[in-house]
Homo-oligomer: A and B are copies of this chain.
Amino acid sequence: MTLQQLRFLCEIVHQGLRLSQAAAALHTSQPGVSRQIQSLERELGVVIFRRKRNRILALTEAGKEIVRFADRALREVHNIRGFGDEVRDSAAGDLVIATTHTHARYTLPRVISAFTKAFPHVRLRFWQGNRDEIFQWVEGGEADVAIGTDCDVTLESVALLPYGEFHRIVVTRASHPLLKEKDLTLEQIARYPLIAYGFRSNERWKFRHVFEARKLEPNIVFSAADADVSKAYVALGIGIAILPHITYKPALDKHLRARDARHLFGTEVTHVGLKRDRFIRSYVYDFLNILSPTLTRSNIQQMLNSHAGT
């Protein structure tokens, strides 16, 4: 048995049972991968892939189990590499962050700025995705850290560490009648054209059910891609928008006004996603500590070891 064989196996699985694609991803030849898998199967005496002629159809039950073991073995090997890097130079390396537009745009700039000043030799990379994708990327190992708000999919090996709160505001133009209302209500909001974001065309808008519960029909006149676009259209007078509170900064958004709407749409928790049982470079702890003072090294380790968020 070889680490190579295990790597090949896991990569094939990772690529959706496409051997050729795995070979490409591994920068090696198709026949090499094929032979290594065969040799592994021969050595173990176990058929890992169900095939039809020369096509891989599925993992056998035994194969699935073997992949799980192999994954863990490779993870430890990866950890050794990471630990070696840490020992050589604890302030240099890579950090891949998966996050959503909102966080990238509003919560991270401050963090990045402080971090790059402290760790100029860490190469930062960003993957931007939706709230589920980003955590899946961490699970798949493509990203080291995910920063996002909630997550609907279930994750095997990613721990979600809560670090902050997230609520909604209603953003309007400076002269909007809503600003004069004493207590903001759903009924009032429903009277005005609404700019929504955060959903694909064929999905339902996240807060639609809140209105429906009160038998209200929000008048969504525009579906934006992100908070910035929403604000731009609010400024144009197209409508009002319901946005995460962090997207509104009085100093920058001079033509806009915001009203707290957490009593209508509730609060959400912002999470950091980290893959369990992975060696964590010291600068990752530092990064997270800049993101939130509550995320200390010992807190993080404790949360990773507890089974919360599995």
| Chain A residues proximal to chain B, CB less than 8 Å | 1-3, 6, 43-46, 62, 65-66, 69-70, 72-73, 76-77, 79-81, 83-85, 87-88, 279
CB neighbours of A2 from chain B (8 A)? 2-3
Q: Contact check, B65 vs A83: say whether CB atoms are below 8 A apart.
A: yes
With contacts A1-B3, A1-B77, A3-B1 taken as known, whether A87 is within 8 angstroms of B69 at the C-beta atoms is no
Interface of A is mostly: helix
> B residues within 8 A CB of A45?
84-85, 87-88
B83 touches A76 (CB 8 A): no
Shortest distance between the CB of A280 and any CB in chain B (Å) = 13
Q: Tell me if A1 and B81 are in contact (CB < 8 A).
A: yes
Q: Which residue of B lies closest to A1 (CB)?
A: B77
Q: A3-B1, A46-B84 are in contact. Are A72 and B62 (CB under 8 A)?
A: no
Contact sample, A vs B, 14 pairs, CB 8 Å cutoff: A1-B3, A1-B81, A44-B84, A45-B84, A45-B87, A46-B83, A46-B87, A62-B83, A66-B80, A69-B76, A70-B76, A70-B80, A73-B76, A73-B77
Given contacts A2-B3, A88-B46, contact A73 B69 (CB under 8 A): no
Contacts A1-B80, A69-B76 given; 14 further ones with Cβ under 8 A? Answer: A1-B3, A3-B3, A6-B77, A44-B81, A44-B88, A45-B87, A45-B88, A46-B87, A66-B84, A69-B77, A72-B76, A73-B77, A73-B80, A76-B76
